Structure 1
């Protein structure tokens, strides 16, 4: 049995050897299963299989290591401290930032350690640092690190979580991890998650060690201070294990060539595996999805049902507020009521959202003026600014006539009324249009952060150099937050959300894909547009198979 001694340092060795646990005595451990993972674990517990080394085929959801969980106050304090340190990424938590209500419920036996960890991961402190302030790829990397004690196995696993986040929100991602069979098997209900990849356990691939080292960087720093972009993206794209800078390099000793350049194999399909370890391609059309997809449009029609009106309202918030996570008190309730009752058209409802205090707080008070105007173009006209003259015109409106005049200048423009009219919610106009230069496509990709990102992440301008010099923006094709936004899941029941692999050969020269044979991973919804794109460039489709 492992002891409950708190590690004196923050090193990997002490974390692995001394997992911190606590169990409130007298509290029943046999509760009704609320998730599939809990049901499987309860079923395995009733099979009386001994803990320790065993065949996972006997029951893959049984906890493989158990430790005595004390219930004294000192151990409880250690558990709370360890949970904050692990879940918040070694961040410094001020007294007023602590989750006092969750701590009280844990002390009273109303919550298990697992539920306490879930609550911390859903707190405003966590969302502010690891959802709003980082790109989706980086956010998922940290979610898995904090809650499962390892790095993601592959881009397929990250993509599945990003799709879940885009469709159901950040809390659904947290629940999917904490309720997973992997979490229950490794940590159970009483153990605080810890970095478990350092000792190469049997259930992890060898690549888990360098991948976790690449995320961790050092044990003295905080995850919230290491930037908003993923540092694993090149490893997933190339299939190469990230290099670990060992201290011996300072005296001239370097890793062997086989270590420095060795490829790692994807892990066999398991509890959390995406079941597809194909390397990513640096193709924005394939993985970003905007270029190949006809954007969904939402238009109000006479006789729309309540559900249809609610869908229009959600689409309006998503477009105008930049894909936000809105609390109930942040919504424009009065404008919603008028819109539902027919007193406001869709255009007037969009105007009301743009003039709301929440929009002003998110994009005017916290951003530079140039960034604010960029986002106004994106939110209300569905495109990036065309030129410096256009930016200067709106800067003058903002300076001379004020905030309200700036918002109304978009909604009342001829372009808005011609493109969207009175009843259509603005959408991303990413496809080529007559009268728009080709560079508009690149600028839109630079300005857009992906289907799962929020426009509040960045406060500085993305296009100031590009628009001023009339050039293609740098980094538009390789931004971390744009990789694999297909919104698909392996084995999905909905045909439009199934994932398919298209193998292509003999594409024309000078195309974006220059290899002899290419592999595309696309959703069922994008199948037609992707095939059209392949055929238009002389490609020959060899096979189409569903990724399970």
Structure 2
């Protein structure tokens, strides 16, 4: 089951699309559909040029020499995947993306992320990919002949409601890409949230557009220093900014921002945001 209506959460396409499996006697057209689905899932819905496709790997899969599981494994260990999601990304960003691409969910918590960081340090990139594909979880959910899919919004894939809220920092609908259009880019999205056990608001994609990016900050225990007598600080998520108003980029592009504001400056910040054309999506206490 899922926690809320998939249509309101921007996940209806995931919820309504049945898993793809390879069956005996599958036609060439059926296999092409599976191949495209594997590329889409493993490469995080990013665009792949014809010259970048792994033709030998595809041919071996079509000939029945590789299962879907092995196809997924070899694609994730390829130079194409490695250059996009490992060597060019921060360590914990790469791990976050591995969870999204290979298990269809976000990490359970800091301990699970640290475990995979240790695998990278001690055994290398290939072993890190194997640790997902050959895990009991992968085999029990997807097996040898099912294409992995996004499932982190379902109760069976979440260890807690905290993890459920973190999922929406990584995935916001079927058209969402792992990197393109994401304000975090190649920097970690969940690291500070996991370390501090901070849940995040879930904002409808129809009103919020892109994901919110948490700016790099000092530990949350210091956010209230000098803020007010009580040290109260609030996290304001703002959407709907016209980029040319804020950054002089384009009148068509829009940007989301996150601000940490002391209590005694909330009114002032509220006025500034609305003057610049922003829409406040949520205000939550930080400490």
TM-score normalized with structure 2 length? 0.65
Instruction: Give the RMSD, CA atoms, in angstroms.
Output: 2.2
Q: CA deviation at 1:388?
A: 0.3
Q: CA deviation at 1:440?
A: 2.5
Aligned residue for 2:100?
Answer: 378
Distance 1:285 1:470, change over 3 A: farther
User: Among residues 379, 382, 394, which one is paired with 2:116 in the alignment?
Assistant: 394
Alignment partners' CA distance in 2, 1:375 and 1:480 = 20
Count of residues in correspondence between the two structures: 200
Q: CA deviation at 1:285?
A: 4.4
Distance 1:399 1:378, change over 3 A: same
Distance 1:449 1:361, change over 3 A: farther
**In the alignment, is residue 450 of structure 1 matched against residue 163 of structure 2?**
no
Aligned residue for 2:129?
Answer: 407
Kindly indicate whether the alpha-carbon contact (under 8 Å) linking 1:295 and 1:428 is maintained by their aligned counterparts in 2. no
Aligned residue for 1:481?
Answer: 210
**In the alignment, is residue 314 of structure 1 matched against residue 36 of structure 2?**
yes
Q: CA deviation at 1:436?
A: 2.4
Q: Deviations over 1:434-476 (max 9, x none)?
A: 7722223211111114322321222111111221122313566
Alignment partners' CA distance in 1, 2:70 and 2:14 = 31
Q: CA deviation at 1:365?
A: 1.7
Task: In structure 1, list runs of 5 or more residues that go unmatched.
Answer: 1-282, 483-548
Aligned residue for 1:190?
Answer: none
Alignment partners' CA distance in 2, 1:473 and 1:449 = 13
Q: CA deviation at 1:481?
A: 2.6
**In the alignment, is residue 351 of structure 1 matched against residue 80 of structure 2?**
no
Task: In structure 2, list runs of 5 or more residues that go unmatched.
Answer: 212-287
**In the alignment, is residue 439 of structure 1 matched against residue 168 of structure 2?**
no
Q: CA deviation at 1:319?
A: 0.2
Alignment partners' CA distance in 2, 1:363 and 1:434 = 23
Alignment partners' CA distance in 2, 1:443 and 1:374 = 11
Kindly indicate whether the alpha-carbon contact (under 8 Å) linking 1:442 and 1:476 is maintained by their aligned counterparts in 2. no
Q: CA deviation at 1:286?
A: 1.7
Structure showing the higher strand proportion among its residues? 2
Distance 1:434 1:397, change over 3 A: closer
Distance 1:449 1:461, change over 3 A: farther
User: Among residues 114, 132, 148, which one is paired with 1:426 in the alignment?
Assistant: 148
Q: CA deviation at 1:400?
A: 1.3
Alignment partners' CA distance in 1, 2:7 and 2:95 = 26
Kindly indicate whether the alpha-carbon contact (under 8 Å) linking 1:443 and 1:476 is maintained by their aligned counterparts in 2. no
Alignment partners' CA distance in 1, 2:33 and 2:209 = 29
**In the alignment, is residue 469 of structure 1 matched against residue 192 of structure 2?**
no
Q: Where does 1:203-218 land on structure 2 (aligned, <5 Å)?
A: none
Aligned residue for 1:108?
Answer: none
SS in 2 for 1:481: coil
Aligned residue for 2:282?
Answer: none
Kindly indicate whether the alpha-carbon contact (under 8 Å) linking 2:61 and 2:67 is maintained by their aligned counterparts in 1. yes
Aligned residue for 1:332?
Answer: 54
Distance 1:299 1:476, change over 3 A: same
Alignment partners' CA distance in 1, 2:80 and 2:188 = 20
TM-score normalized with structure 1 length? 0.35
Distance 1:410 1:292, change over 3 A: closer
**Structure 1 runs of 4+ off > 3 angstroms?**
474-479
Alignment partners' CA distance in 1, 2:93 and 2:12 = 22
Which has the higher Rg, Structure 1 or Structure 2?
A: 1
SS in 2 for 1:417: helix
Q: Where does 1:82-481 land on structure 2 (aligned, <5 Å)?
A: 285-286=7-8, 288-290=10-12, 293-429=15-151, 430-433=153-156, 436-457=159-180, 458-473=185-200, 479-481=208-210
